[in-house]
Structure 1
Amino acid sequence: MAASGDSSTGPPADVPTVLVKTEGVAAGEGSSALLPAAAPTINIPLPPLPLRCPPFPKSGKRKAMEEWNAECRRISNLAAKDPRRKLPTVIKPKDPYTADTVASSRDKALVRNAARSVVNVTSIKPDGNTIHSCCTGFIVSWNGTKKCARILTSSATFHGLGDHKPKLHVRLPDNTVVDGQLLFFDEHYDIALLEISSESDLPLHLPSFGSNPNYGQEVFMLARGEESNLMARHGSILWFDGLDFLQGNYHMFLSCDLPRGGTGGPVIDHDGNVIGMAFIAPKPNILAISTILTCIEMWSRFSHIARPIHGLHLRTVELLEVSLQEAISLHHNIHSGYIVDKVDADSTAERLGIRYGDVIVSFDGLQTHTLPQLEDYLLSLGWKFLERSIDSSSSVDLTLEVYDLLGRITRNIKLPVEFSGP
């Protein structure tokens, strides 16, 4: 400490202080000095005391009471602006359901680690002021040289805007906002790929991608709010592939509701691996990560996504209600395959005689694949189609073994299918 004659400045004598030693190199071997001679000792003032109302007036007189009330209001207004009230150790969670969902220390660590890949994506209408949509997204690739990341989110970010491209704001976990650039979106799968960049390292971690989701599997769904607050839900993947309200054969359904803005968020398993992306409407559902990554790779290589258009809406015999399973097993000797729920009007499948209620016992040789697995198989055909550089009007044949429950006959059908264009 300085001698009494030291002219160094410091806080007023009546302000409480804490003595802090700055880091330094030891003066020498055997010396008891912790700092070099030139290193100063810093006096740091203590934080101010919290604002408090004055004592309640003992006199009980009206004027004293009015003055006390006025002072309390003044103190209350000042206290409301206290930055200490905004500390994460003081505020209440913005989403109370997350606290109920993620309770154990293990789950908190798991979700917190996975959340480093999760962002908020907000689209702004062409007027530059109005929010069009608010979704969640997550990083799928990182280029350290260019300091840019690719973000996957839902194409709901752009729904209803026509040809107008919205301005995209991507809010990172640390509440930093960067502009996003749209690379591509696919309305069939409801996915969009964005790119963000920064002169400094982005506070994001590339997630680990797991295997495909399984029916009955317990999962966490993560989302990020408009103020970068983390939200989470816990549930399971339902044993259900009933009539798909989204007119697709590749969704799996979640038992939990999603938070507002949760569409586009990652679904993770209990090891923290991303196994899919969540959608909120018309009921909570998940798109498998294998389908998503195939679409991204296909776009990166061929600049568009090709999928067979077969005109069939299916369910699996495996997930049929058990009494109905028994009925078709006893009366028709069918134990696996794909139930035809709907056939698109005027489609090739309809012209070839496939009707709702039929069972496709073998779909190009596949019998026991789940619908998401079947979708991945169909995308693999699209990949081969693009690799061969076939003209977009070309088609391939799917070999179907179709059982007609009314006629009790099985027919082998060659179903020619075309591929979706860019």
Structure 2
Amino acid sequence: MFFVGEERIFACTGIFIDFDGSTSTSTVLTSASLVRASADEYKIADDLKIKVYLPNKQLVFGTLERCNLSYNIAVVSVKGFRCLRTAELHNQVQIQPLKVKEVVAVGRIFESGKLMATSGILAEKGSNLDCKELRISTCKVTKAGMGRPLVDFDGNFIGLNFYGIEETHYLFF
């Protein structure tokens, strides 16, 4: 969550990744929409305060470590918490053409911490946006679900979801 003062500006979902091998810090991969300035989408917001809602229901401050506004991804670190189950980004899943691949977009509801999920399939058509790395799934993701992981039914991390009115774009990892 991104705050200015005590006012929540934006909330989205993320996924824990193994970033630096630290035993006292966890790292979250999420959407850069979390840190974008509302007046200028190509700029990181000033006076950035990021709060992370952990699986153990603690609310802690996070630090923006890396951000790429073009790819719409951000990496946030959380000190004093170590997530032992992280997404494996280095194990690339091979997606076979013309084979229906069922997937699930998974996230948490901010207020309650309960899991939410929506299922769909990976679409064969490409994105109409000007980023060739973006792909499309039929999972319906809300703005609050941006940054949530897209996984297959074998538990493999496929990519990071974004929001779209007609279709859901995701960045394939």
Q: TM tier, shorter chain? A: 0.7 to 0.9
Q: Provide, for residues 55-91 of structure 1, a one-character-per-residue CA deviation record: whole Å limited to 9, x for no partner.
A: xxxxxxxxxxxxxxxxxxxxxxxxxxxxxxxxxxxxx
Unaligned runs of 5+ in 2: none
Quote how far apart the aligned CAs of 1:168 are.
0.3
Residue 192 of structure 1: how far off its partner (Å): 0.3
Counterpart in the other structure of 1:255? 138
> Residue 181 and residue 159 in structure 1: after superposition, are their counterparts in 2 closer, same or farther (change >3 A)?
same
- Output aligned runs, 1:243-282, within 5 Å: 244=128, 246-282=129-165
Question: Normalising by the residue count of structure 2, what TM-score does the alignment of the two structures yield?
Answer: 0.83
Query: TM-score of the superposition, structure 1-length normalised?
Result: 0.36
For 1:252 and 1:171, locate their aligned partners in 2 and report how far apart those are by CA, in whole Å. Answer: 28
Tell me the distance in 2 between the aligned counterparts of 1:176 and 1:224. Answer: 13
Preserved CA contact (<8 Å) 2:149 2:160: yes
SS at match of 1:156: helix
Asked if 1:124 corresponds to 2:3, the answer is: yes
Q: Does 1:286 find its partner at 2:173? A: no
The worse-fitting range, judged by mean Cα deviation, of 180-189 and 210-219 is 210-219
2: distance between equivalents of 1:165 and 1:204? 31
Structure 2 match to 1:205: 85
Identity of aligned residues (%): 24
Distance 2:148 2:94 in 1: 15
Match of 1:185 among 55, 63, 67: 67
Cα 1:149–1:132 change in 2 (3 A) is same
How many residue pairs align between the two structures? 160
Deviation of 1:280 after TM superposition, in Å, equals: 1.1
Matches of 2:33 and 2:77 in 1, distance apart? 17
* Separation (CA, whole Å) in 2 of partners of 1:204 and 1:138: 12
2:103 corresponds to 1:219: yes
Q: CA RMSD in A?
A: 1.9
What is the rounded CA distance, in whole Å, between the counterparts of 2:132 and 2:94 in structure 1? 15
- Equivalent residue number for residue 241 of structure 1: 126
Structure 1 segments, 4+ long, off by >3 Å, are: 201-204
SS across alignment from 2:103:
strand
Residues 154 and 165 of structure 1, relative CA distance in 2, 3 Å threshold:
farther
**Structure 1 position 230 matched with structure 2 position 115:** yes
Amino acid aligned to 1:168? I
**Contact 1:173/1:204 (<8 A) preserved:** no
- Residue 135 of structure 1 aligns with an amino acid whose one-letter code is C
Report matched runs for 1:47-66 at 5 Å.
none
Question: Relative contact order (alpha carbons < 8 A, sep ≥ 6): 1 or 2 greater?
Answer: 2
Contact preservation (8 Å) 1:223, 1:261: no
Equivalent residue letter for 2:3: I
Greater Rg over alpha carbons, structure: 1
Do the aligned partners of 1:136 and 1:264 also contact (CA within 8 Å) in 2?
Answer: yes
- The amino acid that maps onto 2:14 is G
Q: 1:175 to 1:213 in 2, by over 3 A?
A: farther
Whole-Å separation in 2 of the counterparts to 1:139 and 1:240: 29
Conservation of the 8 A alpha-carbon contact between 2:141 and 2:164: no
Is the Cα–Cα contact under 8 Å of residues 233 and 256 in structure 1 kept in the other structure?
yes
- How far apart, CA to CA, are the structure 2 residues paired with 1:190 and 1:219? 21
Aligned-residue offset at 1:223:
1.0
In the aligned structure 2, how far is the partner of 1:222 from the partner of 1:133?
18
- The answer on whether the counterparts of 1:218 and 1:236 sit within 8 Å (CA) in structure 2 is yes
Provide the secondary structure at the position in 1 that maps to 2:144. coil
2:11 corresponds in structure 1 to: 134
Three-state SS of the structure 2 residue aligned to 1:135 is coil
Q: Structure 1: which 5+ runs fail to align? A: 1-121, 290-422
